[in-house]
């Protein structure tokens, strides 16, 4: 078997490589690596004496020629390449080139081959957009409401849609949740990204190690016997399981325990966003684990490993907490990617997107005793709740798609109901039960688009302006779309009428319609 990889030098990619190196029967491993990526040299050194079947192609996934060199004569392609936050925020054009154009190139080349490789495409939880206590849990079929100004999510949305609607015979889409990896602390201490994390946002974590185990187990199982329709041409959520379901505050708190403190020691309640994040707990996160038994580690294991491998963080215990907050945390608040910077530089577009208004930003409590935290049994409005009760998956509040998503055989009526719930329509008059046959649909605005029943009904895609432009129009669309509305109005007011968009230079803008 011959396997090709993109993104192999990344945090998840290196763990995938570690597991794939354990497999037998692999004749060739081919990697597409950026010319200036020095990490490939370190990987060659790490696996010295075991790299005879390695072939490195230096190039960019945004280059179709490089993609062709990567996939010709290959049996499997594992696409891990992605430009993720905070790099996607700093270099948005690179996110477009990798997450969108690159995927289009890769898919197009595979489609044109007589002998197509099987494609495993890594997608992301970020497609689901913002969640809070009203809908902590979600499934693969939930609406894809990518957060305004999150160029990572928007480009990954378009890339995933291209895979789902491709002519590739055997593909699988894996939407990965938030990843705990060895470089996470360093990566998130470089700019203001940490302040995007809502304190009450649901976050289900998976370790990079477990993600690597998953890919290794998938390849091993399929090389032994084709996995067939139970895996190929399906979309899944990669989760970490019940033990890894936290909220934003808990995650920050766990990190600060390493240096002997808590989130409240280093953060103030007015530091972080109230909405416009991305993350949720996976109601269907056990599906892949039942198939491939990959969920091995929990967040406690991860933080213990961080303690052992990064002694410098433990040294922080000797530093007064007020100094760390002043010279590390508060310094990052002045970064261009932080709310404080947006306020001081009059970036109304982002303040509205992340807080609802400048007024809500200014009104945030100054003391923790006045800030409602889910783990302290207060909902976002300060009302009393039972956090453990919310945490129990048996009590999960799920959304209505207009049909029973647990059924395997869809009817024409099911598809018509989905379209109607979205405020659109199914134009096709007949449906023969083929989940992957292209059907014609009409959006909430009457625009026609083509997509399979599987893409729309089971994967949550419904065409809108974000699929073609860096524009987010969910305030208006949710007034027509009952599926969108169930999630969007958890963190937005029904009387909000904002259109969020980037200009050609990726400057953030907002256009507000006046209610008539």
169-222 pLDDT tens trace: 999 999 999 999 877 766 666 789 999 999 999 999 999 999 999 999 999 999
Residue 283 lies inside a defined structural domain of this protein? no
- With 0-12 / 13-18 / 19 or more C-beta atoms within 10 angstroms meaning exposed / middle / buried, residue 398 is middle
C-alpha torsion angle, residues 426, 431, 433, 437 (rounded to 10): -70
454-458 LR contacts (CB < 8 Å, sep 24+): 454/164, 454/233, 455/161, 455/164, 455/165, 456/415, 456/418, 456/419, 457/141, 457/401, 457/403, 457/405, 457/410, 457/414, 457/415, 457/418, 458/140, 458/141, 458/235, 458/405
**Cα–Cα–Cα angle for 127, 491, 281, nearest 5°?**
50
Instruction: Please give the average per-residue pLDDT across 332-349, as a whole number.
Output: 97
Q: What pLDDT score was predicted for residue 435? A: 97
pLDDT digits (tens, 9 = 90+) for 344-399: 999 999 999 999 999 999 999 999 999 999 999 999 888 999 999 999 999 999 99
CATH number, domain containing residue 49: 3.40.50.720
Q: Is residue 22 part of a domain?
A: yes
In a domain, 432, yes or no: yes
pLDDT at 186: 65
Q: 440: domain range?
A: 412-512
Question: Which pLDDT score is estimated for 314?
Answer: 65
Per-residue confidence (pLDDT) for residue 327, from 0 to 100: 79
Q: Is residue 419 part of a domain?
A: yes
Q: What is the pLDDT of residues 117-169, one digit of tens each?
A: 999 999 999 999 999 999 999 999 999 999 999 999 999 999 999 999 999 99
Answer yes or no: is 418 within a domain.
Answer: yes
pLDDT, average across residues 312-317: 65
* Number of domains within the chain: 2
Q: Is residue 385 part of a domain?
A: no
Tokens, residue 227: 């996995």
pLDDT tier at 516 (50, 70, 90 boundaries)?
Answer: very low
Has residue 105 been placed in a domain? yes
What is the 3 state secondary structure string of 402-436? CCCCCCCCCCHHHHHHHHHHCCCEECCCCCCCCCC
**503 lies in some domain:** yes
Q: Could you give the CA distance from residue 317 to residue 313 in angstroms, rounded to a whole number?
A: 8
The mean pLDDT value for 66-85 works out to 97
User: Average pLDDT over the chain, rounded to whole?
Assistant: 95
- Of the listed ranges 65-69, 252-256, 335-339, the least confidently predicted one is 252-256
* Residue 417 pLDDT class (50, 70, 90 cuts): very high
């Amino acid at each position: 078997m011959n396997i090709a990889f993109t993104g192999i030098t990344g945090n998840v990619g290196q763990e995938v490589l570690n597991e794939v190196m354990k497999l037998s029967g692999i004749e060739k491993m081919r990697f597409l690596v950026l010319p200036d990526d020095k990490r490939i040299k370190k990987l060659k050194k790490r696996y010295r004496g075991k790299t005879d079947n390695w072939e490195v192609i230096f190039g960019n996934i945004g280059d179709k020629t490089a993609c062709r060199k990567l996939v010709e004569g290959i049996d499997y392609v594992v696409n891990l390449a992605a430009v993720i936050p905070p790099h996607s925020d700093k270099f948005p054009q690179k996110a477009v080139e990798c997450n969108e154009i690159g995927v289009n190139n890769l898919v197009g080349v595979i489609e044109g081959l007589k002998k197509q490789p099987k494609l495993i495409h890594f997608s992301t939880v970020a497609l689901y957009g913002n969640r809070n206590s009203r809908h902590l849990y979600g499934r693969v079929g939930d609406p894809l409401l990518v957060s305004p100004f999150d160029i990572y999510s928007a480009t990954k949305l378009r890339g995933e849609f291209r895979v789902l609607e491709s002519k590739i015979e055997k593909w699988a889409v894996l939407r990965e949740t938030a990843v705990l990896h060895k470089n996470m602390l360093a990566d998130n201490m470089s700019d203001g990204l940490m302040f995007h994390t809502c304190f009450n946002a649901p976050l289900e974590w998976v370790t990079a190690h477990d993600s690597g185990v998953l890919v290794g187990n998938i390849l091993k199982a399929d090389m032994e016997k084709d996995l067939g329709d139970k895996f190929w041409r399906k979309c899944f959520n990669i989760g970490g399981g019940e033990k890894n379901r936290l909220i934003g505050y808990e995650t920050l708190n766990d990190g600060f325990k390493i240096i002997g403190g808590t989130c409240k020691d280093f953060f103030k309640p007015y530091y972080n966003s109230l909405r416009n994040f991305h993350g949720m707990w996976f109601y269907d996160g056990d599906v892949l684990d039942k198939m491939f038994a990959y969920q091995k580690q929990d967040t406690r294991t991860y933080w213990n490993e961080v303690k052992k491998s990064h002694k410098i963080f433990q040294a922080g215990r000797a530093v007064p907490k007020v100094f760390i907050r002043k010279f590390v945390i508060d310094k990052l608040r002045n970064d261009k990617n932080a709310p404080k910077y947006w306020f001081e530089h009059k970036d109304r577009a982002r303040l509205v997107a992340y807080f609802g208004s400048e007024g809500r930003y200014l009104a945030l409590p100054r003391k923790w005793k006045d800030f409602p935290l889910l783990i302290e049994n207060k909902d976002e409005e300060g009302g009393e709740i039972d956090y453990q009760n919310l945490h129990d998956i048996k009590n999960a509040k799920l959304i209505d798609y207009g049909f029973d998503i647990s059924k395997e055989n869809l009817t024409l009526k099911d598809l018509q109901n989905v379209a109607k719930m979205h405020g659109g329509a199914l134009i096709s008059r007949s449906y023969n039960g083929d989940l992957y046959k292209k059907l014609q649909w009409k959006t909430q605005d009457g625009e026609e688009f083509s997509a399979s029943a599987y893409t729309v009904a089971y994967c949550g895609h419904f065409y809108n302006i974000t699929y073609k432009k860096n524009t987010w129009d969910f305030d208006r669309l949710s007034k027509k779309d009952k599926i969108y509305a169930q999630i969007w109005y958890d963190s937005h007011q029904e009387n909000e009428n904002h259109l969020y968009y980037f200009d050609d230079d990726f400057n953030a803008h907002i256009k507000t319609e006046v209610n008539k």
